[in-house]
Structure 1
Amino acid sequence: MQLTAFSAPGRFWRGNLHTHSTLSDGVLDPAEVCRRYKAEGYDFIALTDHMIGLYGYPIADTRPFRDAQFTTLLGAELHSGAMQNGELWHILAVGLPGDFAPANAPGFHPVADQESGPELAARAAEAGAFVAVAHPQWSGMTLADARSITAAHAVEIYNHGCATGCDRADGFQIADLLLSEGRELSLVATDDAHFSEPDHFGGWVMVKAEENAPETLLDALKAGAFYASTGPALHDVRVEEGTLHVACSAAVAVIVQGHGCAARAIHGASMTRAAMPLDRFAHSPWIRVTVIDRAGRRAWSNPLRGF
């Protein structure tokens, strides 16, 4: 059994799914954001400005910045309703239609009679978007909050802006608990770049697709045909006869995690392959893989079920 990212046809394309510009609270205009990501070797980005009334409910039209080497997906960071802590929902939606109707969200605070976060997420998914639960740790999100977003395709498990700005980058506890409850979710790493601090070029997805085209990339994201990274490359993740096999760029640790405290690790120098028996995971409905390189950078597979 092989993860979809490695069995699907095509090649890997590097992209950032969470980016801001001067259309909301970013520092750079959309053209310059796209120019910088292209110059850094990215194949695509989604410009996801805050879709609130304060900024005129923007969905950035980044189509003029596409060319033969670089493309964009339309998107936004959606807001509406309150989480359990009383703060506004943040929902990442990539692949939105340009005419997506905004919620009643005049600013960064909940107001009466708003659409709820779960309702807004469901509406975005119905409109064709790839929907992710944004920065759970930064938001102070509870498990009950996360459970309510039943339309989500993914959880943002690493947010580089939250890492640099407040050391709250993690979404793994939420993601792992939802996986153990049976949710079918993928795991994304993003920048959440505003360019007001070193919050860019730090977290990305590698999407497997036959061409670097918006519709093809969006389909691959929804199918889970990608992995997330802050540096290392994953080349293969598969299970054969009860053993997990991982191929990757040079690593000092390869770790497999599962339900509860189930985990197993191999440590070494410049490892590019690892094999681990999965007897420790006999009662786990899912597993996922982390690869760590000598600089401490990480790559994460999507979850594997039915192994």
Structure 2
Amino acid sequence: MIPSAFTAPGRFYRGNLHTHSNLSDGGLEPAEVCRRYKAEGYDFIALTDHFIGMYKYPLADTLPFRDDSFTTILGAELHSGAMENGELWHILAVGLPADFAPSHSPAFTPVEGQESGPEIAERARQAGAFVAVAHPQWSGMSLNDARSIEAAHAVEIYNHGCAMGCDRADGAFYADLLLSEGRDLTLIATDDAHFTEPDHFGGWVMVKSEALTPEALLEALKRGDFYSSQGPELRHIDVTKQTVTVATSAASSVIVQGHGSAAVAVHGESLSRAEVPLMRFYNSPWLRVTVIDRAGKRAWSNPMPNPGYAGT
């Protein structure tokens, strides 16, 4: 079995799905944010300003910044309702229509009469958006909270802004437990860039698409035709009942993770190919791959079914 990101037609495009401008709490104007990402070699971004009343519910018009080599997807970071810790939800929605209706969210504090987090996530998905659980570790999210966002396509496995600002970048704990409960989820790495600290150009998605258009990219994201990275390239993955074979840019570790404690690593110098045995994964219905290079930078595959799972 070969994951669809490596069989789908087209090429890989590099993009950031979580970005802020001075329309909310970012430090730069939308045009400058787009210029910097394009200059850094990105093919697309989603400018996802905080969709709350204190910023007049911005849904940034980035259409003027598109050209033949760079595009944008409309989006926002949605906020409505309280999590179990009493704080406001943060939900990433990429591919929103320009007329997406605001919730009653005047500021970063929950108020009575708001939609819940699950409700606004479902409304965004019904409107056509790719929906992700944003920075669950940073948010102090409970597992019950994570379970409640049934509309989510993805979980942020890495958030660069949270890595730089508070060392709470990880979403793997939540993603792995949800996968083991049967949820169909993908994993995204993002910047959450504000350009007020070194929170940019640190995590991205590589999306396999036939065209560099917002529509094609959005559909590829929803299909799971992508992987996430801080630097390493995933070039191919092939899964059998016995092994996962990974082709990658130079790496020092190739790790397969699964249900519970199931994980096996292959280590070496300048690895470009690794075969990881799957004996430990007989009880895991799902698998995912992490590649780590000598600088400690990671790349993450999306989860995939385990053809050797004993329960099938």
**TM-score category of the 2 structures, normalised to the smaller one:** over 0.9
Contact (CA 8 Å) 2:47, 2:60: kept in 1 or not? yes
1:269-296 CA deviation, whole Å, 9 max, x = no partner? 0000001221110110101000000110
CA distance in 2, matches of 1:26, 1:240: 45
The answer for the alignment partner of 1:30 in structure 2 is 30
Corresponding letter in the other structure for 1:174: Y
Query: What RMSD, in angstroms, separates the aligned Cα atoms of the two structures?
Result: 0.6
The answer for the alignment partner of 1:178 in structure 2 is 178
The answer for the alignment partner of 1:202 in structure 2 is 202
Superposition deviation, residue 240 in structure 1: 2.9
1:71-101 CA deviation, whole Å, 9 max, x = no partner? 0000000000000000000000000000000
Greater CA deviation, 242-251 or 232-241?
232-241
The answer for the alignment partner of 1:155 in structure 2 is 155
3-state SS of the aligned residue for 1:96?
coil
1:226-277 CA deviation, whole Å, 9 max, x = no partner? 0000010000111135211100000000000000000000000000000122
The answer for the alignment partner of 1:131 in structure 2 is 131
The answer for the alignment partner of 1:168 in structure 2 is 168
Query: What pairs up with 1:101-120 in 2 under 5 angstroms?
Result: 101-120=101-120
1:203-222 CA deviation, whole Å, 9 max, x = no partner? 00000000110000000000
The answer for the alignment partner of 1:239 in structure 2 is 239
Greater CA deviation, 123-132 or 1-10?
1-10
CA distance in 2, matches of 1:241, 1:154: 26
1:17-70 CA deviation, whole Å, 9 max, x = no partner? 000000000000000000000000000000000000000000001000000000
CA distance in 2, matches of 1:121, 1:276: 37
Q: Which runs of 5+ in 2 are unaligned?
A: 308-312
Indicate the percent of aligned positions where both proteins have the same amino acid: 74
The answer for the alignment partner of 2:51 in structure 1 is 51
CA distance in 1, matches of 2:104, 2:23: 18
3-state SS of the aligned residue for 1:141?
coil
- The 1:260–1:241 alpha-carbon spacing in structure 2 relative to 1, beyond 3 Å, is closer
The answer for the alignment partner of 1:144 in structure 2 is 144
Corresponding letter in the other structure for 2:151: A
TM-score by length of 1: 0.99
Superposition deviation, residue 306 in structure 1: 4.1
Query: What pairs up with 1:209-288 in 2 under 5 angstroms?
Result: 209-288=209-288
CA distance in 2, matches of 1:107, 1:157: 26
CA distance in 2, matches of 1:33, 1:150: 31
Contact (CA 8 Å) 2:284, 2:306: kept in 1 or not? no
3-state SS of the aligned residue for 1:169?
coil
The answer for the alignment partner of 1:84 in structure 2 is 84
The answer for the alignment partner of 2:293 in structure 1 is 293
Q: How many residues align?
A: 307
Corresponding letter in the other structure for 2:121: A
Contact (CA 8 Å) 2:245, 2:275: kept in 1 or not? yes
CA distance in 2, matches of 1:11, 1:169: 28
Query: What pairs up with 1:60-71 in 2 under 5 angstroms?
Result: 60-71=60-71
4+ runs deviating over 6 angstroms: none
